[in-house]
Amino acid sequence: MTEKITLQDHPLERQIVLSRIIIGGVFVFLLLLALFARLFYLQVNQHDYYSTKSDSYRIHVQSVVPTRGLIYDRNGILLAENIPSFTLSMVREHSGDIDGMVEIVSSLITLSDEDIEKFRSRLKNRSVPFSSVPVRYNLSEEEIAKISVNQFRLPGVSVEAELVRHYPELENFAHSVGYLGSITTDELRKVDPVNYSGTHQIGKSGVEKFYEDILHGQVGYQTVEKNARGQIMNVLDRTDPIPGQDIVLHLDSNLQKAAVDALGDFRGSVVAIDPESGGIMAMVSKPAFNPNLFVQGISQKDYALLNDPVLTPLYNRALAKYSPGSTVKPFISLGALNGGFRTPEDTVHDPGWYQLGNHKHYDWTWWSNETGHGTVDMQRAIYQSCNVYFWDLAMDMGIDEMHDFLFRFGFGRNVSLDLPQASTGTLPSREWKMNTMGESWYPGETINSYVGQGYTEATPLQLATATMLMSNKGKWYRPAVLKKIGTDSNYSQASSFLPDIEINNPDHWDFIAESMEMVVSRGYGGEYRTYGSAYPYIAAVEPMKYRMAGKSGTAQVIAIPDDYDRADEVAEKYREHAWFISFAPVDNPKIALAVFIEHGAAGSSVAGPVARRILDAYLLDDEGELKSEYRFPQISEEGEEVDEAIPAEGFLSAEGSMVGAASGENINALSENDRQLATFNE
């Protein structure tokens, strides 16, 4: 023995452990006996009770689906509601032979192969046993009657009334409110499966998706007794569900419809923002689709139509990025003033082209009659959209200054509250290019960037946001679709999430706004090309009832060869995108707008009139006058309030007669010339 312990008394130890083992054995026997007694009680004494329960009257817990919250626009108009619909459902456990059952059902009512296939996949994915699985939605009254008459042949099959989502505005809000659709297995994994145990649909896009948690509510349940055929015999206990909360959006149905109408048959988008709250009042993307198609499962035929490669109705153009073209010029100009790179008085001579190295960049004027704008100052560079001025500025200011200034306006990032799917766009800089492409920056790329081409890309939402900042002089509000949740009228989003844009001389805000006003309203003067680029299509068509500021943009889709001549000879898909940003009234801004028209070819002549129609619809009353709530309370020298729209002073008063007298002939002659000119990169 190697151990040092010597005190062990082996027979005694054996005795001790042995006695304990015997005690243990007795305990084991007694406890197993107790278990057996319990089983005897369950299986002999209570056998009849449990047998009945198991065979015919099964106690079953059913979930009770909460009512989904409603969605209203800012005026209390319903954008998403719940309407009753009749659904044929089946409980697998009660039906037994699924194939036989499906055969009988399809002999009674129409069941397409697709319906059957979808039913089988739902059957496979259901989460709770004894839950009813939808076979077909939207039964007609005749079909309900047929099922009822044949109920005896259809154990486990029942007609259930349920509330389904309905979008009364159809296509108008397809991209902003979004839609519900059947829950997929992946989506079910991300939510609480108990809370969604009776829910068949979930928010797939837009507001319906982002505010799913708020809209859905909390599931309730009831304990019921069912017979072997799946019919509820008795409700024993019920916990009511908590309905989802209603939400109110900033969207304005009237404005949204006006935007849809103004776009007409164009493909494109409109985003309108309230400069006093950041609320998104309109968000249109065309072509759109009927969101009601998705709610109870879209058919393959309908879905194929929505996947048209050119029309792409499912694609939300309001949140997609495109080259912004000349719409960035007002923002770059403000940056040039603020950084001291230019004064309002500095001029540039524009012969129609700009030479960088040994490459000549031609301005849009060159393509019509081989001339330039002549001597151009900043204001003229904006209202006539002179590229040479900005190419010259680009060389002095550089790409990084532009990046830093435009970043403050929300370019290059997604700052929205509830549109996470929005693109961030692209705001290039030296660092950006090195990080994404591993290449250094070339001066020619700066030239492109200063006229909103090249790498620079922005979404209609971003341009509307930047326009909002231009109109409210840099006051940052987070762009948001949601106005408030439920009855909580105090709900408001954090407004100070980004620092307001401060500039050295606040007068420069007014200077740029004035320049943008000239874009739409500076009439024809004596000199060659002194009118605003959009004037022939906006103020000249019909006198303005309010002061409107704007800027057009025409963005190349592909690199255009130097001998490129006429837009109408070019295939539609290669035509430029047309932009128009705008806010109004200038003296009391109530709406900031971005209009984007896919392959629209010309910003001023195509997108400009669309913008005006939308502003008119929003700002004017039935008599065609500016609504009183949008008027700026002007105090005249005598101390009286002047209620009328104030014409832009200075440049317009000199040419006011021009506006009034503009004859149709005159306009047509000029506008044809301009339409041709405007097809080029403004």
Active site residues: 326
* E strand residue ranges, 91-143: 133-136
For residue 555, what are the β-bridge partners? 577
Q: Give me the torsion for CA of 587, 592, 596, 597, rounded to 10°.
A: -60
Report the nearest approach of another protein to the CB of residue 33 (Å): 9
Nearer to another protein, 8 or 636 (CB): 8
Report the nearest approach of another protein to the CB of residue 234 (Å): 15
Torsion sign, CA atoms 624, 74, 166, 299: positive
Preceding peptide of 585 cis, ω within 30°: yes
Contact 574, 560 (CB under 8 A): no
Report the nearest approach of another protein to the CB of residue 268 (Å): 49
Binding stretches for another protein (CB under 8 A): 1, 3, 5, 7-10, 13-14, 16-22, 24-25, 28-29, 31-32, 34-36, 38-40, 42-44, 46-47, 49-51, 53-55, 59, 61, 63, 93, 129-130, 194, 221, 223, 237
Nearer to another protein, 5 or 494 (CB): 5
Residue with tokens 């900043």: 378
Report the nearest approach of another protein to the CB of residue 10 (Å): 8
Quote the CA–CA distance of 580 and 482 in Å, as a whole number: 25
- The two most distant CA atoms of the chain are separated, in Å, by 129
Nearer to another protein, 54 or 121 (CB): 54
Report the nearest approach of another protein to the CB of residue 187 (Å): 21
Nearer to another protein, 9 or 637 (CB): 9
Burial annotation 296-309 (CB, 10 A radius, 16+ → b, else e) = bbbeeeeeeebeee
- Please state, in angstroms and as integers, the Cα–Cα distance from residue 314 to each residue in 298, 575, 600, following that order: 13, 22, 20
| Strands 217-218 and 242-243, sheet pairing | antiparallel
Element (H, E) at 63: strand 58-64
| Strands 180-182 and 157-166, sheet pairing | unpaired
Report the nearest approach of another protein to the CB of residue 6 (Å): 10
- The contacts of residue 539 (CB under 8 Å, 6+ apart) are 520, 521, 523, 532, 548, 659
Quote the CA–CA distance of 643 and 630 in Å, as a whole number: 10
Nearer to another protein, 220 or 344 (CB): 220
Quote the CA–CA distance of 582 and 311 in Å, as a whole number: 26
Element (H, E) at 374: strand 374-377
Report the nearest approach of another protein to the CB of residue 579 (Å): 51
Nearer to another protein, 43 or 492 (CB): 43
Nearer to another protein, 61 or 560 (CB): 61
- The contacts of residue 305 (CB under 8 Å, 6+ apart) are none
Q: Give me the torsion for CA of 367, 368, 373, 379, rounded to 10°.
A: -90
Report the nearest approach of another protein to the CB of residue 482 (Å): 32
Nearer to another protein, 16 or 83 (CB): 16
Report the nearest approach of another protein to the CB of residue 87 (Å): 22
Q: Residue 664: how many CA atoms within 13 Å on its side-chain side?
A: 0
Token pair recorded at residue 561: 């060869």
Nearer to another protein, 44 or 494 (CB): 44
Torsion sign, CA atoms 95, 100, 102, 106: negative
Report the nearest approach of another protein to the CB of residue 156 (Å): 12
Residue with tokens 């259930």: 160
Token pair recorded at residue 137: 């939605």
Burial (CB < 10 A; 0-12, 13-18, 19+), residue 362, is middle
Token pair recorded at residue 47: 């056998």
Nearer to another protein, 21 or 170 (CB): 21
Token pair recorded at residue 111: 């069941």
Residue with tokens 């960037």: 449
Nearer to another protein, 11 or 650 (CB): 11
Contact 344, 379 (CB under 8 A): yes
- The contacts of residue 550 (CB under 8 Å, 6+ apart) are 516, 517, 519, 520, 534, 538, 580, 581, 582, 583, 608, 611
Geometric angle at alpha carbon 254, from 421 and 597, rounded to 5°: 50
Report the nearest approach of another protein to the CB of residue 215 (Å): 22
